[in-house]
A and B are shown apart, each in its own frame.
Chain A
Amino acid sequence: MNRNLLLSGRFFLLLFVMLGIILTGCNRGAKSEGEGSGEFEASGTLDAETQEQLNTAKRIFYSLPSPLETAMLIKNAGAEYNEELMNPTSNTSKYITSKSKALNLGIYSTDLSYASLFDQSQATLDYIGAAKEMADGLNILDAIDEETVTQLEEQINNRDAIIDIISETLMNSSSFLKENDLEGTASVILVGGWVEGLYIAINLVDEHELEGNKLVERIVDQKLSIDIMVSLLEASPEDQDAQAVLEDVKALKTIFDKITINQGEVTAVEDPETNVTTLKSESSFKITHRIFTELKTKVIELRSSYIS
C-alpha cells in the first residue's frame, strides 16, 4: 500500500467506514443453527427488497434434550439408580481428542444429573469433577469453575439447589460454545448426553416386559428427536467431529425408523382456572422384540466406542 495513502486522513476515514461495516456484521450475534439467514444492516433506511428479505429470513434452532432433561425423563419413567451403567470417572484420562472430550462431557453431564436426581451425594461430587475435567479440556471457560464445585459441596443435601447448579453449568457451557461459533462442539456434547441417557434407559428395561413399560415408551419417544439431531449436526458441515457423530446418529435413525408411532390430531384445551393448556391427542406405538434388541445392540456399541 502506498505509504502516503497509509498516513493520510483518508485512510483512517476508510478504515472507520470498513470497521463500521464489519462491526455491524459481527453484531448480528449468535449465528443461526441450521439453515442460514441473510445478513442485514442493523440501522439505516431499508429499501423494499431488504425489508422483504427481513420478513422472510428465519433463524432456525434445533433443541435436543439436555443431559438434565434426559435424566429427568429417565427418572420420571420409573427407572432405578444403577451406578454400574455410568461411565466410570476413572476413564477421564483416556479422553485426549476434542471429539472424545465433547462426547464425554455430555456423557458425564447425564451421569451427573442421573446421580443427583437419585440423591447420590458422593457420585454427584465425583461426576461434577469428571465433567469439569472434560470442560476444561475443551477450554470452555468458567462453565464449571471452582466456585461451582464449592457451591455443589455446600448444597450437597439440597437436591433442588444441586439441580439448579447443574442447569446453570449446562447453560454456561452451551452459551460459551455458541458465542464462540463452536456450535458443532455444542451439538456433539448434546449427542453424547443423549446417547448416555438412551444407554441407561435401554439397559434398565426388562426385555420380556416391553408392553406397557413407561421406560420403553420414553425410548420410543426418542424417534421424535432423531430428525432434530440429524438437522442439528448437519448444520455444522465444517466440524469433523460433528460429521463423524452424524454417521452414528444416522445408523441409529435407521433402526428408529422401523418403530411405528401412530399419532392422532392434537387439540389444545385450556383450563381457565389454572391457565394451563393440555395438548390432547391419542398415540400408540409398536416395537417388536427384534427391533428393541437391534436398537439396544447399536446403542451399546456406540456408547462403548464413545467411552473407550
Chain B
Amino acid sequence: MTKKGILFISLVACMITLPMAMNAQCKQFAKNTCKAGLEPYQHDGNYHAALLIEGEEAELYKTFYSDREYRIGVCGANNLTAVEFKVVDTRNGKVLYDNSLNDFDWKWDFNLESSQQLKIMVKVPVPDGNVDEPEEGCVAIMFGSKDD
C-alpha cells in the first residue's frame, strides 16, 4: 500500500474513532465524577450526558415521587466555567431552585410532599470577554434517591 493510501485509511479511522473516544471520556467523567458524588443516594442507572459548548443549554424532564429523597447532580468538565442549573415546575414555569443563588453548587438535595413532573434547565455560561473560542466539554445530569 502506498503512503497516501495508509494516510487516507488513518484519517478515516481517526474520523470514526475520535467521536467515540470523546463520548467514552464523557461516560467516564459522568461515572467517576458525577455518579460518585451522589452517595449516599442511590444512582438510578439512567445516563444523561452530552458534550456542550459554552452558551449552549439543555433541558431534562423527569417525574419525582413523594416519600423519596432525591439528589440532582449537574456536573461540568473542568474546562467549562461553573454550570448553571434551575429546577422548574413544568406546569407554570415557577423556579424552585437556582444554583446561581447557591454559589453554583453542582448538587441539590430535596424531597416532595406530592409527586411532580419537574424540568431541569442547564446552561453552560459564556465567560466574560471570551466569545472567540468557546470551550466544549462534557455535562452530565444524574439522579440519586433513597427512601424518605
Contact = CB atoms under 8 A, between A and B. Distances in A.
B118 to A, nearest CB: 8
Contacts of B132: 44-46
Contacts of A275: 109
B79 to A, nearest CB: 12
Given A61-B59, A171-B35, A263-B91, A224 B113 contact: no
B141 to A, nearest CB: 7
Contacts of B66: 217, 221, 283
Contact of A279 (B23, B30, B110, B136): B110
B24 A46 contact: no
B94 A266 contact: yes
Contact of A278 (B55, B112, B145): B112
A239 B19 CA distance: 22
B52 interface: yes
A231 B108 CA distance: 26
B111 A12 contact: no
A27 B117 contact: no
A179 interface: yes
Contacts of B51: 27-30
Counting chain B residues whose Cβ lies within 8 A of the other chain, the interface size class is 35 or more
A43 B133 contact: yes
A30 B136 CA distance: 13
Nearest to B38: A167
A42 interface: yes
B11 A15 contact: yes
A166 B42 CA distance: 11
B116 A55 contact: no
Given A7-B4, A63-B48, A225-B63, A167 B42 contact: yes
Interface of A: 7, 12, 15-16, 19, 22-23, 26-30, 32, 37, 40, 42-46, 51, 54-55, 57-69, 72-73, 76, 163-164, 166-171, 174-175, 178-179, 217-218, 221, 224-225, 227-228, 231, 263, 265-266, 268, 274-283
30 contacts: A12-B4, A29-B22, A29-B50, A30-B50, A55-B57, A57-B57, A59-B50, A60-B61, A62-B62, A63-B46, A63-B143, A66-B44, A68-B44, A167-B42, A167-B43, A167-B45, A171-B46, A171-B47, A174-B45, A175-B47, A221-B66, A231-B61, A263-B91, A276-B109, A276-B110, A276-B111, A279-B111, A279-B113, A281-B113, A282-B113
